[in-house]
Every structure is written in structure tokens, then in C-alpha cells.
Amino acid sequence: MSVQTVIAGVSGRMGRALIEAVTADAGCSLLAAIDRPGSPLLGQDPGAAFGAPSGARVTDQAAAALRGAHALIDFTRPEATFGYLDACAEAGVPLVIGTTGFDDAGKARIATASARIPIVFAPNMSVGVNLLMKLAEVAAQVLRDGYDIEIVEAHHRHKVDAPSGTALGLGQAVARAIDRDLASCAVYGREGVTGERDPKTIGFATVRGGDIVGDHTLLFAGIGERIELTHKASSRATFAQGALRAAKWLQGRAPGLYDMRDVLNLK
């Protein structure tokens, strides 16, 4: 069965990557695309730009786009995601959320909607990054004592949230593995006379510049050695392919809140 897919935010960088990926995927078909009101793409066939006209059209009406859909994939902004979340819950359409930057209330809203529809919600859809998350848990359990833990991430100049959702996900994976509370042990950047490093903290450093797609390094620094686990994305295609894998995996699933570890059987 071809998964009839709706892509949100098609004028954005990830939206374009998703359109290109779905037009090349034999297991998915592009049913419709959604963009903001006033977008110059409204009414156009989003696949035409990649030499693969789909017959789909770009609309700003989510409810109309979801008719006959098997899944919606959303990489936009939290305020837009909530509209898609409500529309999917009303239509009974599974949802893949790659949007980042949600506060606790936003995450709770997604969890509430998952009682009605199946949702894959993950800070990063890359298969490699999610494998990195699993390796991070294993490494943290072995290196929990005597090693300082730092997370360094770099993204393009247009990214609006920091640290990245992936960096925070790495921090949460490590903290969970060694029974720490990330909210109370995280240190986000350092400046001035900070004093000696607290060995129980997990540090974050953020770089923004140019067209960096996404680099993440988890560093365990001990005495006489350091261990670095690094993932570097050279193309947004890796996130798009992971999202399509999640959309396929959702077919026939019961309502609930899932992540890429469920999709990849890494739990």
C-alpha cells in the first residue's frame, strides 16, 4: 500500500526536502501539501519543481488537505504545528512531528492529542542520530563516574531555537541513563569567572553560522582520555527519509505517543 502523505510547510527548507523525498519513495505518494496563507506556492503542484508532477496541490486549508490522507508530516513552527495537530486529531490522521522548540505546555498538548491518534514526535528524525541517542545511553552508563559530559551542536544561521532539539534529546538520554534530572543539572553556556566545573552537570554549547545542516557531538572528558560520539548531517534528506519511515510505521498503530526509537526498535 502506498502511504498517502500530506506535507506541511512546503516553502521551508525541510518542506522542500520532504517533497523531494516523497516523490522519490515508492512506498509513499504525495496527496497534498500545506503552506501558510498568502504563500506564492498556493495552488501549485509541489512536485513539479523536482521533475515529478504529482497532481497534488498546495493549500492553506489543513482539513481539506487531510481528506483521504494516511499521514501528515510536519516540520514547521510550534504555533503552526498546533493547528495541524488539531486538524489531524479531528480527522483521525496519524501525525509525524519533527518541529522543535516546544515548551512543556506544548509537549503536554501533543501528548493529549495522542490519546486520539498515533503520533511520532522526535527532536530528530535521522536514523543515525537516533542510533547516536542509543549509544549515548550505553556510554553514559559506563562513563557515569569520573567523566565530564558536554554536548556541542552547530546549525545554520536561520535556526531560531537553541540548544537544538537534538542536543536536548541527547542530554535527556544521558541524564535518564545515569539517573539525573536534566532540568536541574544542565548548564547552557558559560561566561566570566564560573568557578570549577561541577562534575554532576551536563554542559551545552551552541554554534550558529552559515549553512550548517546539523552537527552534534557528545563528549565524555576524563583524566587522560576523552570519548566523542559525533553525528554530522550533510543534507536534510536524512531527516526527510526518517520522517517517511515514521509515516509508514504509523500505519495501523493504535493511538499513542511514539518516537523514533519505537520506529527503529531501539528501545
Query: Cβ of 261: how many Cβ atoms within 10 Å?
Result: 16
Strand order in the sheet with 256-258: 58-59, 28-34, 3-8, 71-74, 95-97, 118-121, 256-258
Residues in the chain: 267
Q: What are phi and psi of 204, to 5 degrees?
A: -130, 140
Find out whether 28 and 244 touch, Cβ atoms under 8 Å. Answer: yes
Q: Which of 70, 107, 134, 155 is catalytic?
A: 155
Please confirm, yes or no, whether 248 is among the known catalytic residues. Answer: no
Provide the β-strand partners of residue 30: 5
Using an 8 Å Cβ cutoff, are 240 and 14 in contact? yes
Catalytic (active site) residue 232: no
User: What is the 8-class DSSP label of residue 259?
Assistant: -
Of the residues 107, 134, 156, 159, only one is catalytic, namely: 159
Residues noted as catalytic: 155, 159
